[in-house]
Amino acid sequence: MHDGTRFAHPFPASSLREYDIRGIVGESLHKADAFAIGRTFGSIVARNGGVRVAVGRDGRLSSPELSTILIEGLMASGMAVTDIGCGPTPLLYFAATTEATDGAVMVTGSHNPASYNGFKMMLGRKPFFGAQIQELGRLAASGDVVPEAGGSVAEKDVSDAYIARLLQDWDGGDRMLNVVWDSGNGAAGDILRRLVKSLPGKHTVLNGEIDGRFPAHHPDPTVPKNLEQLVAAVRKQGADIGIAFDGDADRIGIVDDTGEILFGDQFLILLARDVLAANPGATIIADVKASQVLFDQIAAAGGKPLMWKTGHSLIKSKMAETGAPLAGEMSGHIFFADRWYGFDDALYAAIRVLNAVIGSGKTVSAFRKSLPQVINTPELRFDCPEDRKFAVVSEVAERLRADGAKVSETDGVRVSTEDGWWLLRASNTQAVLVARAEASSDAGLTRLKATLASQLAASGLAPDFSGANAGH
C-alpha cells in the first residue's frame, strides 16, 4: 500500500498532454503511472467535495490492467468507483453525465497506435484539461495527496440505458437506408452491433470485433487510407452511406453513396442545417481548421458561425459558455447540445447524420456536390522543436500584422486574402506546426502556399509541400 505522506510520483513531461495523459505502454506509460493518476485525481475529487468516480476503458490490450490499477489508486484516495467496463469514450461521458458522479476517467489511447494508451478525465460534468492536467502532474510529483483511505468499487453496465437514449433521438421513422459501418476493431464494436439491430434498414458492420491490435487498419477515420475498406464496401453494396469511428468512438468519418469521403467541415454543414431548422439563429462552433465554406453556409442557413480553437476540451468549454447547440472539428469530433449532453459522441453523431440525410431527401453525394467547390491542402504538419513552435507562430503573426494582413489569432494565425485563406498553428500535443490553405483556384492555392512557405522560411524552417493539394 502507498501511504499518503510517502507517495510521490513524477510523470514524464511528454505524457502530460493538453487534453489527456498519454504515452507508449512500457516506455513512457507504466502501471505506476496508472496508480498515481488514480491516487492524485482521486485526491482532487476529494478536495472538491466529491467521492464518486466513474471509470471506463477501451479495447486495447493494456487497458484492463491499467484500469484495474487506476481504480486501486482512486480507492486509496477514498473514492467510490463505478466501473462501467469496456466501451467507447462517449459511454463513459454518458455515465458521468447521467449517473451521480463527481468525476470520471477513461482509459483510452483514442486513435493512437496499439502500443499507446492514456487517460481522459472529467471533473464534475466538465472536461479536465490544460492547466488542470499540469497541476495533477505537480501534485503527484510532490506527493500532495489526501491521506490514504479505503474506497470501494462496483461494476455497473450502463450500455442498455445508453443505447436506449441514442435510439430516442432517431427521427428517420422506418426509412430503409443501406448503411455500412466500420468500427475499426475499436471500442464501439459491441454497442454498435446492438444499436443497429434496433435501426430500420440494412446495416453491415465491418471490423466489429473489439481487438486492441487493430488488425484491419489503424482506427483513425481522418486518414483516407484507413477508409479504403469502407469505401470499397459502400461501392460494392451500393450503400447510401458509410460511417467510420476512431478507436474510442468520439470521432466520426463519413463516406457518401459514391464512395467519396466527406471532410468533417462538410458533414457539419449537413448537421448545422438540420439543427438550425429547429434552432433558428443559433450559434454553431467550428475550429480554425474548417473551410470558409462551412462558416458561410452556417450564416446562409440563418446561424451565427463562431470560429474557435482546435481541441475537444476547448470546444466543449466554449459551447457551454455560448449555449451553442452544435459544434464540430475537422478531426471528426462532433458535439451536440441540441437534445444531447454537449459531449463529443460519434455514435450519437451517426444517428443525427442519418436523420439529416433522410430529412434532406437527397443522396449524400448530391449534398456534397451542391457545396461550393474549393481547392485546399490536407492538414500539413511540419516538425518544429517543442521550445520553438509557439514562438514561430508569434513571429509569423508579428510580421503579418506589420504588413497589414487580415489575420485572426483565435488559435495560431489564420490569414484571409483575395485568393482564400491559410492557417498556421502549433500542435497542442506534438512537436509540430500544423498548416492548411484553401483557395477557389489552383493558382490562388499556389500563391497562398508560397506566402506560408516564405513566412516559415523567415523563421528558419524549410517546409515540404509535396502532395499538398486536395479537392474539397
Q: What confidence tens digit (pLDDT) does each residue in 348-367 have?
A: 999 999 999 999 999 999 99
Per-residue pLDDT at 337: 97
What does the alpha-carbon distance between residue 395 and residue 290 come to, in Å, rounded to a whole number? 23
Q: Does 7 map to a domain?
A: no
pLDDT over 50 at 106, yes or no: yes
pLDDT over 50 at 2, yes or no: no
Distance between start and end Cα atoms, the chain: 56
Q: At 319, which amino acid appears?
A: M
Q: What confidence tens digit (pLDDT) does each residue in 167-213 have?
A: 999 998 888 899 999 999 999 999 999 999 999 999 999 999 999 99
Write phi, then psi, for 449 (nearest 5 degrees): -65, -35
Cell numbers describing residue 369 = 456536390
User: Which phi-psi region, left, alpha or beta, contains residue 318 (left: φ > 0; alpha: ψ -120 to 50)?
Assistant: alpha
Element containing residue 261 per DSSP (H, E): strand 261-262
- 205 and 344: one domain? yes
Q: Looking at 316, 338, 370, which one is the last position of a domain?
A: 370
What does the alpha-carbon distance between residue 251 and residue 261 come to, in Å, rounded to a whole number? 15
Q: What confidence tens digit (pLDDT) does each residue in 299-326 have?
A: 999 999 999 999 888 999 999 999 999 9
Q: Within a 10 A sphere around the Cβ of 39, how many other Cβ atoms?
A: 27
Q: Does 6 map to a domain?
A: no
Q: What is the pTM of this model?
A: 0.94
Q: Looking at 325, 353, 370, which one is the last position of a domain?
A: 370
- 137 and 165: one domain? no
What does the alpha-carbon distance between residue 419 and residue 403 come to, in Å, rounded to a whole number? 17
Catalytic residue among 67, 110, 291, 317: 110
What ranges make up the beta strands (E) of 48-150? 52-57, 80-86, 103-107, 116-123, 126-128
State the residue range of the domain holding 90.
13-157
Question: How many percent of the chain have pLDDT more than 70?
Answer: 97
Tell me, yes or no, if 365 is annotated catalytic. no
- Tell me what the pLDDT averaged over the chain comes to: 95
Q: Does 4 map to a domain?
A: no
Three-class DSSP category at 66:
helix
- 211 and 354: one domain? yes
Q: At 136, which amino acid appears?
A: L
Cell numbers describing residue 77 = 484516495
- 145 and 17: one domain? yes
- 386 and 352: one domain? no
Residue 472 — very low, low, confident or very high, per pLDDT cuts 50/70/90? low
Q: Does 3 map to a domain?
A: no
Mean pLDDT (whole number) for 388-400: 96
Instruction: Decide if 210 contacts 186 (C-beta within 8 A).
Output: yes
pLDDT over 90 at 6, yes or no: no
| CA dihedral of 277, 283, 284, 290, whole degrees rounded to 10 | 130
Burial class, 28, CB count within 10 angstroms (exposed 0-12 / middle 13-18 / buried 19+):
middle
Provide the number of structural domains found in the chain.
3
- 284 and 391: one domain? no
Residue 4 — very low, low, confident or very high, per pLDDT cuts 50/70/90? very low
Give how far Cα 105 sits from Cα of 37, 74, 213, 361, Å. 9, 10, 22, 41
Q: Looking at 157, 180, 204, which one is the last position of a domain?
A: 157
- 290 and 322: one domain? yes
